[in-house]
Structure 1
Amino acid sequence: MPRPRPGDTGVARLLVAVGTDKHPFDRLVGWLEEWHRTVADDVGPTVQHGHTRAPRMPGAVAFLGHDELQTAMAEADLVVCHGGPATILEARRHGHLPIVVPRDPTRGEHVDDHQLLFARRLGTAGMVALAETREALFEALTAGVADPSRFAVAADPDASETRRAAVERVGRIVEELVAASAGRRRARWRPWARPGRNGERR
Structure 2
Amino acid sequence: MTADVLVSVGTDVHRFDRLMDWIETWYAALADRPSLLLQHGRSRAPAIPGAVPFLDHDALGAAMAGARVVVTHGGPASITEARRHGHLPVVVARDPAYGEHVDDHQMLFTARMAGAGLIRLCTTAGELTDALSEGLARSGAAGDRGTGDAAEARAAAVAAVGRIVDDLVASRRQRGSRWSR
TM-score tier (shorter)? 0.7 to 0.9
Report which stretch shifted further, 136-145 or 26-35. 136-145
* Count of residue correspondences: 172
Question: Is 2:65 aligned against 1:74?
Answer: yes
CA distance in 1, matches of 2:87, 2:37: 16
CA distance in 2, matches of 1:176, 1:45: 39
Residue identity (%): 50
CA distance in 1, matches of 2:171, 2:101: 16
CA deviation map 1:123-153 (0-9, x unaligned)? 0111000101111111111111111666212
- Higher RCO (Cα < 8 Å, 6 or more apart): 1
CA distance in 2, matches of 1:184, 1:40: 49
Q: Of 179, 185, 195, which residue of structure 1 is paired with 2:178?
A: 185
Aligned partner of 1:137 in structure 2 is 128
> 1:42 deviation in Å?
3.0
The 5 A counterparts of 1:50-199 are 50-147=41-138, 151-154=144-147, 155-156=150-151, 172-176=166-170, 178-179=172-173, 185-186=178-179
> 1:186 deviation in Å?
2.8
- Return 5+ residue gaps in structure 2 as ranges: none
Q: Of 43, 47, 59, which residue of structure 1 is paired with 2:34?
A: 43
Return the letter of the residue paired with 1:103. Answer: R
Note closer, same or farther for the CA distance 1:40–1:95 as it changes in structure 2 (3 Å cut). farther
Moved over 3 A (4+): 165-180
> 1:170 deviation in Å?
6.3
Asked if the contact 1:15/1:72 (under 8 Å) is kept, the reply is: yes
- Return 5+ residue gaps in structure 1 as ranges: 1-11, 188-202
TM-score of the aligned structures, taking structure 1 as reference length: 0.74
Asked if the contact 2:136/2:143 (under 8 Å) is kept, the reply is: no
Note closer, same or farther for the CA distance 1:169–1:126 as it changes in structure 2 (3 Å cut). closer
For 1:46, what is the secondary structure of its paired residue?
strand
CA distance in 2, matches of 1:175, 1:40: 45
CA distance in 1, matches of 2:62, 2:162: 24
> 1:175 deviation in Å?
3.4
Return the letter of the residue paired with 1:60. Answer: A
Asked if the contact 1:14/1:77 (under 8 Å) is kept, the reply is: yes
For 2:126, what is the secondary structure of its paired residue?
helix
